[in-house]
Structure 1
């Protein structure tokens, strides 16, 4: 009744801008929320349940696009397809240059997996989506038994509520926070796994047991688990390493302080820590220290001040107007520095609640995330609290220590490796091929230099071999890394081929064949190839617009400038190239004016 249409595109929230800039193959910024049922999953029913769920939360139907100053999320007509689990948990969902949804639903035996790129939503948004998905699945699979369909959140948030950027809504530059001196934290040093694959360790405990022990010690469950993780890490430290404190990043759901129904990111964090080796290292002493820290820093004033600092940094005039590539490098450098202030991450997603009608069908919920460090995520359902440890180290000592510490204080733990299909394997074939090709190019250069030195040292023909091998490598590298977007691939090939030919021409006597013939020919060929690619792949105007504009602008300006400066001596090819490209660009503006305007607005938003 109250649903509005989705925005065609929208800015990233404050946290999403960090995730879009820093995600990579070893830190995908993807997390998995899952539900284990008491029955095996039917893939067809799960697909129907997902179709229903996405109607309620259409904000998830977005793809990441790249502008001149910022990334942004764009409405997509793509639809998610349920698959049986087929790859490593928390694998890349955001692949640069590839137009794909930023979440995925898979299943294995009795488990429903919901994986999502953190730039799209946070733990709260993921929880709401998964709860709706599980509810729809149970209603569909047990409708013959008369299982009632219960709304999880009344009318639920409208589309506008889902897309609201709560960071911007509650931003106030006047709110300050208590300053805390930045210190370098202890960094875990362990052997990485062979391919850097994600190691997942899960465990469960009774909520009642953990709560009873927490009350006995006068702290919350979150404080107890935070202190236990610090102690678990300390057991792997040497005396020398104790010079630096163990510091945990603990995410905080800002919705507890600021009312919001947004499905976007809306969280902050605090960083409790302890310096071991100073005589107060027992669990009870650390519990008291962490308890005081939470009391001092887990306040609305401190959290609001921290949030405002981050948003003020984003709104800085210099940063706003910096090109995206420069901005991303600055963000990555800042993130690297910030990582040194944290040892590990502990995230408590709190309790997942479902209507009583569905509880008998559900065993538990769980969550874990991709990480370059050690990260512990927890959530609970009924009396079962599930731990999800992740790391990329070839050691599980910290996990072992943590569960042993809980057992020693009276919390009985059950530890297990998460079940996954045997055929799930990492695929490195593409990367291996590129590595072999790179080695062959290097080998060709080295062999050429050796033969040149032995056979004809007075001539330097090996330089041409090296240049040719490098040209081949560069062309394949662009094709490999930009293979997900053929239009962008074509644009890169236009730049590389035209500039490469000019360099070849310059180093072989400057006969001007590169500017007289190659440059205009390549420009026209690339523009035609873009037309063909767009037709074959059925691209909409919004998908091809920016590449057409860039190729046309390049094909007009470069030959025109070279003609004015009399660098080009054979004018006919250059004039034809510039003229045809001008017509091509004018046709876009005249016949696709609305799309042209929208694309320029998106790409140049600050």
Structure 2
């Protein structure tokens, strides 16, 4: 156990509470970070590195339990075992009938995969774990690195800070205002995969070239990728639904606005949209809408109000006393309503930084996310930008449109996928 740890159980953070009630074979609420090395993985050393890493992040050894009113995490004595990759990307980890660990580490060739059930952590928290795992593995393989004075652990926050519940820390009471009824979003339709499986496609490209292209439109990387995604969806949409907004949900790392070292969930969602009938169909029109949406939603005041609104329901006395069985039904209903108000999701986890002495051993880092529809994730390491799609739809026209919109502007994109002819 980590020095300073005293608890044997943890209440779920606000974001984590919804996943046990709403995840299943169709939407697994699992995300995968993969690290590609320049050398093939040595399983015995990876196992040792994993054991060291879980000592530093003990809450990853939790299992999920059901209480009278809420689910909670219980620290277990289970020992995680690395294994050769033998399952579909982002396939289910949590099972109500098998109280196992909520993360999985596998390997294949030169690739290390870390899959995590969203109850444990968000993308930033999982990246802290992954970087520690990479650090511990590489210095086990290349022992002489320990003698390098520039070698420092990638994450050194104390246990209390790692376990902090950011939602509770920054919650403040405020007068709740009735929100306007949102316009129903355009929904993507298609033939679906077998539950528990996703069509996963990755495009790897030069990050500097993409950023330069985005700057030509006066946009950030995230805004540019969001606009391309919206345009790619529009090319395949039913023209009879031209009046409906294409609405994109964007997860936001709240640590950038409310200082926290937590490795648990601490994110919020914003939504941006574009209406082709009202606002035009050129890429410049879409970027303008998306940029305005980001500017309006990405403020500390807006995010603070959204955080407090989420915490209000958790802390409401009457809601707290509802038994878990009924809460599960309520949360499922809330999730269905929320899903009906979005077209797709885009998540940019940003640039992954590793200690300089480790960089010669790491080639690429990417991320995929389980979803109920289609989701884009972006991840940058060194000068590689990985843009991935996970989708429950067999059709890949939207993904093709997206990557083609980049190659038509002169970018080279290496495409990889789990599709088999």
Q: Taking structure 1 as the reference length, what is the TM-score of the superposition?
A: 0.67
CA contact (8 A) 1:177 1:306 kept: no
CA contact (8 A) 2:27 2:196 kept: no
- 2:69 corresponds in structure 1 to 69
Q: Deviations over 1:16-39 (max 9, x none)?
A: 101111111111101001100111
- 1:406 corresponds in structure 2 to 406
For the pair 1:295 / 2:298, whether they are aligned, the reply is: no
Deviating more after overlay: 94-103 vs 124-133: 94-103
CA distance in 2 between counterparts of 1:107 and 1:95 reads 23
CA shift in 2, pair 1:327/1:178, >3 Å: closer
CA distance in 2 between counterparts of 1:180 and 1:259 reads 30
Runs of 4 or more, structure 1, over 3 Å off, are 144-149, 175-181
CA contact (8 A) 2:62 2:101 kept: yes
Deviation at 1:104, TM superposition (A): 0.8
- 2:285 corresponds in structure 1 to 285
- 2:92 corresponds in structure 1 to 92
Matches within 5 A, 1:525-604: none
The structure number with the bigger radius of gyration is 1
Q: Deviations over 1:267-295 (max 9, x none)?
A: 00111011123361111111011111111
- 1:368 corresponds in structure 2 to 368
CA distance in 1 between counterparts of 2:65 and 2:197 reads 27
For the pair 1:395 / 2:362, whether they are aligned, the reply is: no
Q: Deviations over 1:496-515 (max 9, x none)?
A: xxxxxxxxxxxxxxxxxxxx
CA shift in 2, pair 1:392/1:341, >3 Å: same
CA distance in 2 between counterparts of 1:31 and 1:119 reads 11
CA contact (8 A) 2:139 2:145 kept: no
- 1:229 corresponds in structure 2 to 229
- 1:333 corresponds in structure 2 to 333
Q: Deviations over 1:70-96 (max 9, x none)?
A: 000011111111111111111111111
Deviation at 1:10, TM superposition (A): 1.5
CA shift in 2, pair 1:153/1:46, >3 Å: closer
CA shift in 2, pair 1:279/1:350, >3 Å: closer
CA shift in 2, pair 1:164/1:142, >3 Å: same
Deviating more after overlay: 188-197 vs 333-342: 188-197
Deviation at 1:195, TM superposition (A): 5.1
- 1:140 corresponds in structure 2 to 140
Q: Deviations over 1:81-127 (max 9, x none)?
A: 11111111111111113221111110011110000000100000110
CA contact (8 A) 1:152 1:354 kept: no
CA distance in 1 between counterparts of 2:20 and 2:195 reads 23
CA contact (8 A) 1:6 1:159 kept: no
For the pair 1:350 / 2:350, whether they are aligned, the reply is: yes
- 2:13 corresponds in structure 1 to 13
The runs of 5 or more residues in structure 2 that have no matched partner are none
- 2:314 corresponds in structure 1 to 314
More strand by share: 2
CA contact (8 A) 1:46 1:82 kept: yes
CA contact (8 A) 1:6 1:59 kept: no
CA contact (8 A) 1:177 1:305 kept: no
CA shift in 2, pair 1:193/1:99, >3 Å: closer
CA contact (8 A) 2:190 2:395 kept: yes
- 1:122 corresponds in structure 2 to 122
- 2:213 corresponds in structure 1 to 213
* Aligned CA-pair RMSD: 1.9
Q: Taking structure 2 as the reference length, what is the TM-score of the superposition?
A: 0.95
CA distance in 2 between counterparts of 1:93 and 1:18 reads 16
CA contact (8 A) 1:369 1:375 kept: yes
Matches within 5 A, 1:503-518: none
For the pair 1:111 / 2:104, whether they are aligned, the reply is: no
More helix by share: 1
Deviation at 1:205, TM superposition (A): 1.4
Deviation at 1:224, TM superposition (A): 0.2
CA distance in 2 between counterparts of 1:234 and 1:150 reads 48
For the pair 1:152 / 2:153, whether they are aligned, the reply is: yes
Deviation at 1:202, TM superposition (A): 0.6
Give 3-state SS (helix, strand or coil) of 2:309's partner.
Answer: helix
- 2:415 corresponds in structure 1 to 415
Give 3-state SS (helix, strand or coil) of 2:95's partner.
Answer: coil
CA contact (8 A) 2:90 2:197 kept: no
Deviation at 1:408, TM superposition (A): 2.7
CA distance in 2 between counterparts of 1:20 and 1:329 reads 11
Deviation at 1:368, TM superposition (A): 0.6
Q: Deviations over 1:378-427 (max 9, x none)?
A: 1100000101200111111110011111223343322111599xxxxxxx
Give 3-state SS (helix, strand or coil) of 2:69's partner.
Answer: coil
- 2:240 corresponds in structure 1 to 240
CA contact (8 A) 1:59 1:162 kept: no
CA contact (8 A) 2:135 2:154 kept: no
- 1:169 corresponds in structure 2 to 169
CA distance in 2 between counterparts of 1:176 and 1:357 reads 50
- Of the two structures, which has the highest relative contact order with CA contacts closer than 8 Å and spacing of 6 or more? 2
Deviation at 1:265, TM superposition (A): 0.2
- 2:28 corresponds in structure 1 to 28
